């Protein structure tokens, strides 16, 4: 059996913000699976801001590979097994794998994770609050920050995938004052009215350090930082002595053409305040997946935790959804639904 699959390839290196012309829709033929592999039809595909760095860097810190031109791309994906040549996978199994940006893929059985079926939990949650997005949030709070009940927390890019997960998780963990930044008045309103934040601000409204100081006049204990630049500077400035920062992302520099923004002007306050600044890479914490599910699944079932997702229908809309995630068009996790 052969299948003609569609795939999105990157065909040009962007200069600054990428465009649709940097991508092309292609077709290729997949043969039947060989021993140890399975043929899957991709159902749900993730697009994430970190992918912007993969578009134009010849290797990234931490060992991430860059995207080659005119070649298959990567991304977290949920696929349904069509045929299998490995006893560990059966037709109909739903698996999490990284051969995204294509309608079908041949996957090695040893490299995929068969997803559990949780009653009352939508499948999309395995790419949002139960996926890499949620695991990043959970690890940042429980391992990096070791957040304690009553502690005050700042979350930058709080309306994004990681940010909405952090906010809801932190509230369920008993956080004190919860402050977030977002990119529009509508998102700010949603953070406060629906997602448990005590205060939020639109970072377009003024200098971020000033806005955060106004939202948290008594200071903060910890921060989950997704932006870098002025947001990192603001977090350093508002933290109390012995505060902690879990640095997850750097959206501010993803389109900087290889020239990152200047370091925070108050960087030495990390020393003066005895702060701890630690980076978070989710791939270093895959052992926490069962802990995340034990924590999150009961809250999803009870309605206390609502996965925040923006779902775009149609595989052909992968590039547009990706660019939308970079612009901040989404609330929560951006997901492309390619099939039923």
pLDDT at residue number 63:
46
Nearest to 86 by CA among 32, 42, 45: 32
pLDDT at 322 > cutoff 60: yes
The answer to whether the CB of 75 falls within 8 A of the CB of 46 is yes
What are the Cα distances from residue 92, in Å, to 7, 120, 307, 315, 316? 22, 19, 24, 20, 24
pLDDT at residue number 59:
47
pLDDT at 106 > cutoff 50: yes
pLDDT at residue number 71:
87
What are the Cα distances from residue 87, in Å, to 97, 108, 109, 277? 17, 12, 9, 45
pLDDT at 60 > cutoff 70: no
pLDDT-above-70 percentage for the chain: 94
Distance CA 309, CA 333 (A): 5
The answer to whether the CB of 11 falls within 8 A of the CB of 24 is yes
Distance CA 228, CA 261 (A): 9
H helices then E strands: how many in the chain? 9, 15
Question: How many CA atoms, within 13 angstroms, populate the side-chain half-sphere of residue 139?
Answer: 22
pLDDT at 64 > cutoff 60: no
Enclosing H/E stretch for 60: none
The SS3 call for residue 198 is: coil
Angle at 58 between CA 53 and CA 61, to 5 degrees: 65
Q: How confident is the model at residue 252 (pLDDT cuts 50, 70, 90)?
A: low
Once rounded to an integer, what is the mean pLDDT over residues 207-231? 96
Contacts of 78 (CB under 8 A, 6+ apart): 42, 43, 44, 45, 94, 95, 96, 115, 123, 126, 127
Neighbours of 2 (CB within 10 A): 9
């Amino acid at each position: 059996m052969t299948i003609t699959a569609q795939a999105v390839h990157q065909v040009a290196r962007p200069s600054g913000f990428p465009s649709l012309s940097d991508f092309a829709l292609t077709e290729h033929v997949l043969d039947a699976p060989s021993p140890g592999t399975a043929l899957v039809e991709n159902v749900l595909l993730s697009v994430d801001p970190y992918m912007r760095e993969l578009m134009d860097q010849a290797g990234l810190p931490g060992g991430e590979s860059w995207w080659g031109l005119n070649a298959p791309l990567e991304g977290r994906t949920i696929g349904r097994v069509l045929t299998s040549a490995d006893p560990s996978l059966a037709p109909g199994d739903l698996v999490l794998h990284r051969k995204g940006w294509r309608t079908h893929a041949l996957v090695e059985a040893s490299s995929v994770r068969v997803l559990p079926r949780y009653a009352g939990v939508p499948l999309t949650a395995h790419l949002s609050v139960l996926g890499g997005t949620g695991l990043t949030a959970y690890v940042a709070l429980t391992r990096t920050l070791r957040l304690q009940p009553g502690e005050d927390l700042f979350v930058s890019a709080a309306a994004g995938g990681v940010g909405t997960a952090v906010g809801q998780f932190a509230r369920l963990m008993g956080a004190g004052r919860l402050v977030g930044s977002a990119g529009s008045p509508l998102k700010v309103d949603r953070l406060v009215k629906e997602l448990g934040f005590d205060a939020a601000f639109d970072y377009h409204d003024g200098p971020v350090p000033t806005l955060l100081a106004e939202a948290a006049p008594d200071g903060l204990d910890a921060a989950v930082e997704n932006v870098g630049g002025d947001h990192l500077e603001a977090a350093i400035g508002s933290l109390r002595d012995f505060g902690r920062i879990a640095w997850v992302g750097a959206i501010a520099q993803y389109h900087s053409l290889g020239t990152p923004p200047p370091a925070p002007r108050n960087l030495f306050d990390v020393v003066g305040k005895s702060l701890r600044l630690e980076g978070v890479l989710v791939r270093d914490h895959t052992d926490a997946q069962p802990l995340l599910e034990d924590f999150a699944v009961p809250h999803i079932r009870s309605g206390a935790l609502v996965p925040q997702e923006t779902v775009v229908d149609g595989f052909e809309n992968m590039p547009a959804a990706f660019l939308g995630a970079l612009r901040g068009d989404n609330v929560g996790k951006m997901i492309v639904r390619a099939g039923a």
